[in-house]
Amino acid sequence: MDRNYDHVVEEFKIKQEELSKNMGISLKNTNEGILLCNNALYHLKTLVEEQGFNTIEEEIYFFKRLKVVPLSVLVYFSEVRSCQLLMPKLGVQNKMSFLKKRMSRINKFFLRNCDFVQYMEQDLNYLDKQYFTRSHQVFPLYTLPESAYLDPKFFTSHDMLWARIKGLNQFIHYIQHLMKGIVLQDQINHPNSKLNTPLQWTSSKIALIELIYALQESQVINYGKEDIKTIAQIFEQLFELPLDNIYKTYSEIKARKGARARFLEELIYRFNNRMDRDDGL
């Protein structure tokens, strides 16, 4: 396709990179970024109205590969701007709670659209005619900021959904960077702060004893030089929890039928599940 569409997008990329060099982007830069995206999209829209497409393949390429570039960045800048305007100004916990809610909302969005996300991430094409041509238009379920581009000649059933997916992926990195910065700044401001909330072991004593024996056997505490009793005493102090006769409890664990290290196996299962969920973002 050589109808100036690619040229518009390439020019946009150059200008956008200048704005996005710093992850700690300012409110002023987000406003400039939104204006930049709007200008690029308006230019593309005008060209499409004037020139159109010669083939279905050209149309798919435009809505799947080109328009999504400035539109996804528009999503990103709009999310960053909203985050900057609405995030609490004071209190580390208030800020972290706000950002975690944002992450939860994003997770739900990706879960709702997981089939389409997998289709695009695998670079499949068998549904491209349905997703990325205007003959199969379906009005999107969400509105701003993408709704400004709902001219029937300038959207398909899934091009804006694809842009939102790409934009939110970029926004995830912004939130993660922001959260790390908040924690780091708090540590700098309060270098000698202590844990305000005491740790409480909320599983069974048997589960904790499983963990203690596994740590001692793995020689990961003081190179394996500490005995079971010493390690157990440390955990008792940490959680303010008496463990009583740990040797008797260990004998009961060994006498179990079937899986004996039940708590440790559950830890492995839950940790793998966590990584699978994070990979699905």
Instruction: Identify whether residues 84 and 156 lie together within a single domain.
Output: yes
Domain span at residue 214 reads 205-279
Q: For residues 56-63, give the mean pLDDT.
A: 94
| Residue 67 counted as domain residue | yes
User: Cβ of 93: how many Cβ atoms within 10 Å?
Assistant: 10
Q: Is it the case that residue 66 has pLDDT exceeding 80?
A: yes
Average pLDDT, the chain: 86
* 41-to-12, 140, 192, 262 alpha-carbon distances in Å: 10, 18, 51, 56
Domain boundary (164, 189, 214) is at 189
Q: Is residue 183 domain-shared with residue 51, that is, in the same domain? A: yes
Q: Which tokens in the block code for residue 188? A: 């700098």
> Could you tell me if residue 124 is inside a domain?
yes
- Confidence label for 267 from pLDDT (cuts 50, 70 and 90): very high
In angstroms, rounded to a whole number, what is the distance separating the alpha carbons of residues 129 and 122? 17
Residue 264 has pLDDT above 50, yes or no: yes
pLDDT in tens, 76-107: 999 999 999 999 988 888 898 899 999 999 99
Integer Cα distance of 107 and 172 in angstroms:
10
Lowest mean pLDDT among 157-166, 196-205, 248-257: 196-205
Token pair for 43: 């230019």
Distance CA 253, CA 255 (A): 5
Identify the DSSP state of 258: S
* Domain count of the fold of the chain: 2
**Percentage, residues of the chain above pLDDT 90:** 51
142 in the same domain as 34: yes
Domain-located, residue 196: no
Examine residue 270 and state whether it is found in any structural domain, yes or no. yes
What pLDDT does residue 144 have? 46
Let me know if residue 173 belongs to a domain: yes
Same domain membership, residue 183 and residue 237: no
Indicate whether this model's pTM tops 0.95.
no
Instruction: Give the whole-angstrom CA distance, residue 216 versus residue 222.
Output: 9
What interhelical angle do 262-279 and 205-218 show, nearest 10?
80
The verdict on 181 and 242 lying in the same domain is: no
d(CA 145, CA 214): 53
- Domain boundary (189, 223, 244) is at 189
CA distance 86 to 83: 5
**Is 199 part of a structural domain of the chain?**
no
- Reduced to 3 states (helix: H, G, I; strand: E, B; else coil), residue 129 is helix
SS3 at position 199:
coil
198 inside domain: no
Q: What is the pLDDT of residues 150-174, one digit of tens each?
A: 566 788 889 999 999 999 999 999 9
Percent of the chain with pLDDT over 70: 88
Mean pLDDT over residues 6-28, rounded?
A: 81
Residues 45 and 102 in one domain: yes
Q: Are 180 and 231 found together in one domain?
A: no
Question: Over the stretch 102-146, which tens digit does the pLDDT of each residue have?
Answer: 999 999 999 999 999 999 999 999 999 999 998 876 655 554 454
Q: Is the pLDDT of residue 12 over 90?
A: yes
Nearest to 72 by CA among 175, 149, 179, 176: 149
**Are 154 and 238 members of one domain?**
no
- Letter for the amino acid at 92? V
Point out the domain boundary residue: 189, 222, 257. 189
Domain match, 242 and 139 both: no
238 and 147 within one domain: no
If asked whether residues 184 and 212 sit together in one domain, one would say no
Residues 184 and 233 in one domain: no
Q: What is the pLDDT of residue 200?
A: 85
Mean of the pLDDT values across residues 222-251?
87
What six digits make up the tokens of 207? 């589960």
Q: How far is Cα 123 from Cα 76, in angstroms, rounded to an integer?
A: 22
3-state secondary structure of 107: helix
Position 193 scores a pLDDT of 58
194 lies in a domain?
no
Q: Count the neighbouring beta carbons within 10 Å of the beta carbon of residue 261.
A: 15
